[in-house]
Amino acid sequence: MPILPIDTGRYGTPEMLRIFEEENYFQKLLDVEAALAWAHAQVGNIPREDAEKIMKMASTKYVKVSRVKEIEKEIKHDIMSLVRAFAEVCGSSGAYIHLGATSYDIVDTAKALQLREAIEVIGRKLDDLELILIKLADRYKRTIMIGRTHGQHALPITFGLKLSVWMREVSRHIQRLRECRERLLVGKMSGAVGTQAGLGAHALKIQELVMQKLGLKAAEVSTQIIQRDRHAEFICLLAIIASTLDKFATEIRELQRTEIAEVFEPFRREKQVGSSTMPHKRNPELCERICGLAKIVRSLVFPALENIPTWHERDLTQSSSERFLIPEACILVDYMLHLMISILSNLEVDEERMRRNIEITEGRTMSEAIMIALARKGMNRQDAHELVRRLVIQSISEKKPFREVLMRNDKIRSFLSEDEIDDALKPEKYLGTAVTQVEIAIRKTLEERKTRGLG
């Protein structure tokens, strides 16, 4: 019976949900057991025909999940239940299944196979998100809007500059994921305490062959389990990615405020309902969903870190928690990426409103430009700052446009002509290197994509 929102289908993409479905997990366990039997045959530990039978039957088509669970109800051990159900369908060859292995040789290696699939999905979505941001940054690199600090109007920027900052943040996550992947995707065949004693004289070769068969690297050294710093790093990275998506979503939510109304997440005007009682509402509910799910993903960091310490060569304290946190983190981050890709692909941008919002302060946001203009004409920078600060306050208290106050001030007029004042008050003249920075960032990102084999 579905209980949690992931189970009911509210959150999660079919692609990622399939990876963590029970059937796929059991198949991965069978793949590892089959690879172990194959490796034993390669070094002469078991007959090749028995290994071939084991490999042939290593499928949930034959080893039913229902049968494994039936056995587990009786013996209370998940992997031994799998081994027995597997042995049942292999006849006499079943005697060689799980030879020399401990449960977590199978579990941790199967987990690496699952995580490899999950990382591929997340990596592709990060690539897609990066490309969307490249296109948006280029499209809006000259679109002027007000920059805000502390929630207040600061100086003019371009919307493309904001988007290029987001783009490079995603690029860093792609690099982090590629680096983390190398440390995360490892398996092992090292036995009950890491000595490989049960695997015999060819133990190291067996481990090498198993990992070769499965397309994984072998852990350099391990105990009964793969050390959980690897998994903790991955969960921490997913939490950082979730926080970045939270950041993007929060900014869009802020810019969609009625009072700002510069940027909007997509809204299906034909049928979408914004409120059960207020027909006029257009809520940024997709962005709010991302922000809410980011809280859950960040909360998974704590158990991931607490899974690193275990008693001696292992205990079971990490087993139960990671059954939740690894699937949840992957499913939710993938889903959040899916949502953000959809939001940005259909983002509505009101460039005219951006321009009008700059004018709300009647020119006062150009105070730095006036100060710099005075300094360039010979006024002491500190004196210029204090003079302009007082004139800004005068403009606010008198409710007069900043230009009018500047033009009436003799000190200002002794340094700046009317044309120079007007020029300094133009937002488009005070964008610095904004457009150039966007173009440099896009070029760098495109170069990185090329090295990754992407267009």
For position 268, what pLDDT does the model report?
74
Q: Are 297 and 244 contained in the same domain?
A: yes
Confidence band, pLDDT 50/70/90 cuts, at residue 273: low
CA distance 89 to 66: 14
Based on the structure, what is the number of domains in the chain?
2
Active site residue 417: no
CA distance 94 to 86: 7
HSE, CB side, 13 Å, CA atoms: give it for residue 370: 30
Q: 50 lies in a domain? A: no
Q: Are 310 and 448 contained in the same domain?
A: yes
* Contact of 37 with 99, CB cutoff 8 Å: yes
Output the pTM of the full model.
0.95
Is residue 451 packed enough to be buried (19+ CB in 10 Å), middle (13-18) or exposed (0-12)? exposed
Q: Are 147 and 172 contained in the same domain?
A: yes
Q: Which bin fits 75, alpha (ψ -120 to 50), beta or left (φ > 0)?
A: alpha
- Terminus-to-terminus CA distance in the chain, angstroms? 44
Q: 183 lies in a domain? A: yes
**Which residues on adjacent β-strands are paired with residue 264?**
348
204 has a pLDDT exceeding 70: yes
Residue-wise pLDDT for 80-99, tens only, equals 999 999 999 999 999 999 99
Q: Are 439 and 400 contained in the same domain?
A: no
Q: Are 343 and 285 contained in the same domain?
A: yes
* Structural domain of 453: 112-188+221-359+435-455
Residue-wise pLDDT for 6-27, tens only, equals 999 999 999 999 999 999 999 9
**Which residues on adjacent β-strands are paired with residue 145?**
157
Q: 394 lies in a domain? A: yes
For position 258, what pLDDT does the model report?
94
Q: Which bin fits 227, alpha (ψ -120 to 50), beta or left (φ > 0)?
A: beta
| Count of CB atoms situated within 10 Å of the CB of 371 | 21
Q: Are 180 and 329 contained in the same domain?
A: yes
Torsion, CA 45, CA 46, CA 47, CA 49, rounded to 10: -130
Q: What is the domain-level CATH number for residue 379?
A: 1.10.40.30
DSSP, collapsed to helix, strand or coil, labels residue 384 as: helix
Q: 63 lies in a domain? A: no
Q: What average pLDDT does the chain have?
A: 96
Q: Give exposure, 193-204, as e/b (b: 16+ Cβ within 10 Å).
A: ebebebbeebbe
Q: Are 266 and 414 contained in the same domain?
A: no
* Contact of 233 with 181, CB cutoff 8 Å: no
DSSP letter for 146, please: E
Catalytic residue among 275, 299, 345, 414: 275
Q: Are 144 and 232 contained in the same domain?
A: yes
Phi, psi of 157, deg, nearest 5: -130, -170
Q: Give exposure, 76-108, as e/b (b: 16+ Cβ within 10 Å).
A: eebbebbbbbbbebbeebbebbbbbbbbbbbbb
Report the Cα 3 to chain-centroid distance in Å. Answer: 26
Q: 284 lies in a domain? A: yes
Q: What is the domain-level CATH number for residue 314?
A: 1.20.200.10
For position 1, what pLDDT does the model report?
81
For position 133, what pLDDT does the model report?
98
Residue 209, both tokens: 């062959």
What whole-number percentage of the chain has pLDDT above 90?
94
Active site residue 92: no
Q: Are 233 and 258 contained in the same domain?
A: yes
Catalytic residue among 66, 93, 98, 150: 150
Q: 155 lies in a domain? A: yes
Q: Are 377 and 290 contained in the same domain?
A: no
Q: Are 440 and 334 contained in the same domain?
A: yes
